Structure 1
Amino acid sequence: MMKRILSLLMLVGSLNVFAQWQPAGDKIKTSWADKIDVNNVLPEYPRPLMERSGWLNLNGLWEYAITAAGQAQPGEFDGDILVPFAVESSLSGVQKRVGAEKELWYKRTFTVPSAWKGKKVLLHFGAVDWKADVWVNDIKVGNHEGGYDAFSFDVTPFLAKSGEQSLVVKVWDPSDKGYQPRGKQIGNPHGIWYTPVTGIWQTVWLEPVAEKHITSVVAVPDIDNNSLKVDAGICGASYGDIYEVVLKDAGNVVSRGKAVAGQSVDLAVAGAKLWSPESPFLYDLEVKLISNGKAVDEVKSYTAMRKVSSKRDENGIVRLQLNNKDYFQFGPLDQGWWPDGLYTAPTDEALKYDIVKTKDFGFNMIRKHVKVEPARWYTHCDQLGILVWQDMPNGGESPRWQNRQYFDGTELKRSPESEANYRAEWKEIMDEHMSNPSVVCWVPFNEAWGQFKTEEIVEWTKAHDPSRLVNPASGGNHYRVGDMLDLHNYPGPEMYLYDGSRATVLGEYGGIGLALEGHLWMTDKNWGYVQFKNSKEVTDKYVEFAEQLIKMARSGFSAAVYTQTTDVEGEVNGLMTYDRKVIKLEEDRLRAINQKVCNVLED
């Protein structure tokens, strides 16, 4: 009887917590919004490339307050906010603007599991937009600038020996009034510019680690030499400490090696199974830190054997290659916005859905446009098999835009603070995704937005990661650096420039609009490069453009990007509606023509 009473009390308590949160506003929502459990928000392990068994998810209801910038921590908070959804989003339960003149405060408590006794405790943030200050038990433990990269703090010295611990986070985000990378966010959303995203927008979590522990795992394949280079970052390593790397295929050991901290492990991979969108094979990777003959830390990861490069074909056209074979890369511009969560997908199933549909549509590539996704998105791409071009989120001002000729003007001059901020965050973005086989191309600039020191930045990017292609400025101001000349043209494909020494690609085209009542972010002011009235008309035009693209691919284009995966706010030019409830084109015809485009070099 007592058990039944306790269960009933727990159920009532859970219902009371749920009653405190509801999606805010009356905008359209995805079907996944109804599946959110405030007691178990985005429960999946947030960092699949370096997984440990123990962790504690801090997502859920926190207290929040919005104050004037520069004020001390508020004595009282305004209410509850659902983390990790940005305060402007419906799913936060708040849906309020902040802006440069105010700051956003978060507060919650947590209890460290007793099983973690004797361990260091790391506090992880997947991403916070933009500047975050963090306190644990009223002690400021650190700060971070950057809206798209993960960061963490060792909070062990600041934890009470037992009981509840307090966590406070303050966020300031100037959005488009600042120089920082911000993507499509703007204070006055309109046209191609969207709602600001302020605060915590990826998972917050705690992790126990040993005094000496692994901090990073970077795996770089070399299929030409049947080898894999693995570097593990180590915290607290002493003389004589080593780490061991084991590569496995379905539980069977393929290769293993050891090295001291600071040295790489080079593994032989005989008869390697190559990764591609058609066959996305992943090896398991285990990394173990050994000190005084004892394993003190171990993480699980994965990797793939694949190569991206470019090469001139028999017709003199520079082609992109995958695993030393010509490979036409074709996919949608994917902005990763959600009507209910803005930057944050409601669930992991939702996060994966767009990738699944992109594959269903017959594409082999995604251009992730001026946004960086949570780590799990890239793992889904690795597992499902899709190539990714990763943009650096734009920010700052723009110089004169000369996209139809090679640039002959004066480049933008950033302030020292702005330049340092750009370099630091771009490096972090690259480092975090260095081991994702799906990521095949870095895109430092888009359409001249914030474009500066192009030749230097491209060379620096290429030097930092020689294993990938670099698209210098997608549709931006063109220089003869990097691996591609990238053209943008709307609505139809056009080749108005050509580079005989690099791959020529069509980084954006299309934008065919179709506004569907009941699935619109706004009832008026909907926008597309060209608009039609029904699915057949849109599909007819899409196929017409694709047939034109096929001819241009045979004569010079080596990749193409169609705008875009979904509608986004006032843009109605998606293959799907913003709420993902309707596929707007005739899917069978879409898939058939897309596969024809992807296979154009095999004809």
Structure 2
Amino acid sequence: MKRQIVLLAASILTISTFAQTWKPAGDRIMTSWAEKVDPQQPLPDYPRPQLVRNTWLNLNGQWQYAVVPATEQNIPAAYAGKILVPFAIESALSGVAKTVGKDSALWYQRTITVPATFKNKRVLLHFGAVDWLCDVYINGKKVGTHQGGYDPFDIDITSALSKSGSQQLAVRVWDPSDEGPQPRGKQVNKPNGIWYTPVTGIWQTVWLEAVPQAYISSIKQTPDIDKSVIRVSAQVENAGPGDQVLIAAYKGTEKIAEQTTTPGAEIALSIPNAALWSPNHPFLYDLKVSLVQKNKKTDDISSYFAMRKISVGTDNNGIQRMLLNNEFVFQYGPLDQGWWPDGLYTAPTDEALKYDIEQTKAMGFNMIRKHVKVEPARWYNYCDKLGMLVWQDMPSGDLGNRWESRPGVYGRASDKDRTAESETIYRNEWRAIMDKLYNFPCIVVWVPFNEGWGQFKTKDIVQVTQQQDPSRLVNSASGGNFERVGHIMDLHNYPEPLMPDPALFGAKQVLVLGEFGGLGLPVEGHTWQQKNNWGYQTFKNNEELLKRYEEFVNRIPALIKSGLSAAVYTQTTDVEVETNGLMTYDRKVVKMPTSRLYEMHSKLYENSSVAMKK
């Protein structure tokens, strides 16, 4: 007994010492949530709210890491130290804060113990996101490879697991940042201006999941408010003859619809007197899906859905308008980069992840444009719950388009001639991102290109996007290579608010202001660096900033009357040397009074009544 007590005490001491060895690296500013990061269990929350099972194990925490020459392919014999997963190695919260680059590869390693409750089940290893090229090994055996820095993926590792004892998990990552053709958003090897620190490796939750031999691998749900139905299908891995899928919808605890179908087949559940989802009423229904084999439920997942519709209609002046649930709702929101001074791509805690959305809502915005980045599934889940419309950008990459000046379209970028490899990388990842985010009702617009950044074959990409998801609108080129394809014509203008010419575009496409503003205010003690910070227009104090911002907002109602359907203000927070955020990068200072912003923005919706053709 004494020996057991001593061993337990030693174990506790080891864990405690292990935790104490971790601390944020570097001397940059931090958010207040950095102090709340638990190195034993960072970001412990369930990572996939649209397909929930209770048999899972979070693998976040301290792993071993090594940076080796990219030419070396073998699992390292020794490691350099500890890294806190899931924070990218360049971030402070990783505890490392080192740059990797295209000439090196980043290796991770840790020991895992498969829970006894996983016995006789298939074991899936999930990665929320790894940037960029990832090879995964279990017990020295390569079990899978994935390309793409923004889409979640899983690998069935069952056959590679030892029958008992601990298992060795190793991950190799190679990421060329801006020296490769892959989507990488705002990452560059030499950060400056609007371009930020590289992000390499694991940056979202890693987790294990136990599933039956045949299991529900995905679901797809599409609301149709005009017919008062939700269309649902469920894919089943390893389905057998006679297998069925039972799908039920709930309003609170009340079951309101149920049907049985076959794997992969779509059914339409009737939703009587549907409660429509909107920013003012973000109502969500629950969904239960079961796999039934020989009259027995062998797999169960839970999800949710919303009854909402995004579409286009014509007003009495012949102008195309963006409609929500068949009514014109002016959409106004910030450009949201989704960067953190301590975690870079990764919010330090789940509370922090939610905070930006809560603040945006409190400021009176009803929309967020998620800019050249994809967030963890929990971020979209919070937008669903809080009632926030989302425009989702495709992360840009392979830049280098030539800009031209053309009358009436405010400049134009030429379509880039990408290599076959570059095209394939883009298409595969865009398809995967749309597929993984499809079920989140908050997303109402897809944005495949921004400002001509690597834009190519615009008409083709827009057509592919619309074919994959005809239930949403497509903003073909936000501020970029203007084409009369897709649903939206999107102008960028700094700093003043303007709009596309209704005479040129209004009868064909919805008119939006995809970016404007960028009003900068560096706040001493809350900047990424002490000097040489940057904004599109810089002010000396909060009063000057508020006055200028209010001037801009007061111009928008006239633009709405002329045909504007939406506007995006740059931006939610400062990011690195950019100081044009509504909040500082560390989120500790809101630069203009939240209540005043809410009052200003509320008037935009109150004064946006538009007569529509019936």
Residues 1:403 and 1:253: Cα distance change in structure 2 (over 3 Å): farther
User: Are 2:120 and 1:105 aligned?
Assistant: no
* C-alpha distance after superposition, 1:297-348 (max 9, x if no partner): 1100000000000111112221111000011000000000000000000000
Which residue does the alignment assign to 1:324?
326
Which residue does the alignment assign to 2:451?
447
Which residue does the alignment assign to 1:38?
39
Which residue does the alignment assign to 2:337?
335
Residues 1:408 and 1:531: Cα distance change in structure 2 (over 3 Å): closer
* C-alpha distance after superposition, 1:379-415 (max 9, x if no partner): 0000010000000000002322347645887521111
Tell me the SS of whatever aligns to 2:608: helix
Aligned AA (1:250): G
- What is the CA–CA distance in structure 1 between the aligned matches of 2:135 and 2:607, rounded to whole Å? 51
Query: Please, which of 76, 92, 95 is the counterpart of residue 94 of structure 2?
Result: 92
Gaps of 5+ in 2: none
Q: Is the 8 A contact 2:412 2:480 kept in 1?
A: no
- What is the CA–CA distance in structure 2 between the aligned matches of 1:403 and 1:238, rounded to whole Å? 59
Q: Is the 8 A contact 2:500 2:512 kept in 1?
A: no
Measure how far apart 1:4 and its partner are. 8.2
Query: Please, which of 120, 123, 139 is the counterpart of residue 122 of structure 2?
Result: 120
Deviates more, 1:226-235 or 1:560-569: 226-235
Tell me the SS of whatever aligns to 1:194: coil
Q: TM-score, normalised by structure 1?
A: 0.98
Which residue does the alignment assign to 2:517?
510
Q: Is the 8 A contact 1:493 1:545 kept in 2?
A: yes
Measure how far apart 1:146 and its partner are. 0.1
Query: Please, which of 554, 557, 563 is the counterpart of residue 556 of structure 1?
Result: 563
Matches within 5 A, 1:404-553: 405-406=408-409, 410-498=414-502, 499-500=505-506, 501-553=508-560
User: Are 2:17 and 1:16 aligned?
Assistant: yes
* C-alpha distance after superposition, 1:36-67 (max 9, x if no partner): 11111101000000000110000000000000
Q: Is the 8 A contact 2:284 2:305 kept in 1?
A: yes
Which residue does the alignment assign to 2:587?
580
Tell me the SS of whatever aligns to 2:379: helix
Measure how far apart 1:431 and its partner are. 0.6
Which residue does the alignment assign to 2:283?
281
Measure how far apart 1:206 and its partner are. 0.2
Measure how far apart 1:536 and its partner are. 1.3
Q: Is the 8 A contact 2:105 2:173 kept in 1?
A: yes
User: Are 2:597 and 1:590 aligned?
Assistant: yes
Which residue does the alignment assign to 1:197?
199
Which residue does the alignment assign to 1:69?
70
Q: Is the 8 A contact 1:511 1:573 kept in 2?
A: yes
Which residue does the alignment assign to 1:208?
210
Query: Please, which of 253, 264, 271 is the counterpart of residue 255 of structure 2?
Result: 253
Q: Is the 8 A contact 1:248 1:283 kept in 2?
A: yes
Aligned AA (2:35): D
Matches within 5 A, 1:284-295: 284-295=286-297
Measure how far apart 1:9 and its partner are. 4.7
Which residue does the alignment assign to 1:232?
234
- What is the CA–CA distance in structure 1 between the aligned matches of 2:29 and 2:438, rounded to whole Å? 36
- What is the CA–CA distance in structure 2 between the aligned matches of 1:539 and 1:399, rounded to whole Å? 36
Q: Is the 8 A contact 1:86 1:198 kept in 2?
A: yes
* C-alpha distance after superposition, 1:533-576 (max 9, x if no partner): 11111111111001112211111211000000000000000000
* C-alpha distance after superposition, 1:494-552 (max 9, x if no partner): 12533122110000000000000100001122000101111111111111001112211
Tell me the SS of whatever aligns to 1:370: coil
Residues 1:403 and 1:471: Cα distance change in structure 2 (over 3 Å): farther
Which residue does the alignment assign to 2:367?
365
Tell me the SS of whatever aligns to 1:473: coil
Tell me the SS of whatever aligns to 1:310: strand
- What is the CA–CA distance in structure 1 between the aligned matches of 2:6 and 2:68, rounded to whole Å? 42
Tell me the SS of whatever aligns to 1:547: helix
Which residue does the alignment assign to 1:179?
181
Which residue does the alignment assign to 1:152?
154
Q: Is the 8 A contact 2:490 2:500 kept in 1?
A: no
Which residue does the alignment assign to 1:347?
349
Q: Is the 8 A contact 1:289 1:296 kept in 2?
A: yes
Aligned AA (1:426): W
Which residue does the alignment assign to 2:392?
390
- What is the CA–CA distance in structure 1 between the aligned matches of 2:412 and 2:156, rounded to whole Å? 49
Deviates more, 1:393-402 or 1:195-204: 393-402
Q: Is the 8 A contact 1:370 1:393 kept in 2?
A: yes
Which residue does the alignment assign to 2:608?
601
Tell me the SS of whatever aligns to 1:486: strand
- What is the CA–CA distance in structure 2 between the aligned matches of 1:510 and 1:517, rounded to whole Å? 21
Q: Is the 8 A contact 1:566 1:574 kept in 2?
A: yes
- What is the CA–CA distance in structure 2 between the aligned matches of 1:434 and 1:402, rounded to whole Å? 35
Gaps of 5+ in 1: none
Measure how far apart 1:18 and its partner are. 1.4
- What is the CA–CA distance in structure 1 between the aligned matches of 2:100 and 2:319, rounded to whole Å? 50
Q: Is the 8 A contact 1:181 1:395 kept in 2?
A: yes
Q: Is the 8 A contact 1:218 1:434 kept in 2?
A: yes
- What is the CA–CA distance in structure 2 between the aligned matches of 1:410 and 1:569, rounded to whole Å? 30
- What is the CA–CA distance in structure 2 between the aligned matches of 1:534 and 1:92, rounded to whole Å? 35
Aligned AA (2:472): R
* C-alpha distance after superposition, 1:237-290 (max 9, x if no partner): 112111010000111011111111121121111110100010000000000011
Q: Is the 8 A contact 1:328 1:599 kept in 2?
A: no
- What is the CA–CA distance in structure 1 between the aligned matches of 2:405 and 2:263, rounded to whole Å? 47
* Percent of aligned pairs sharing the same letter: 55
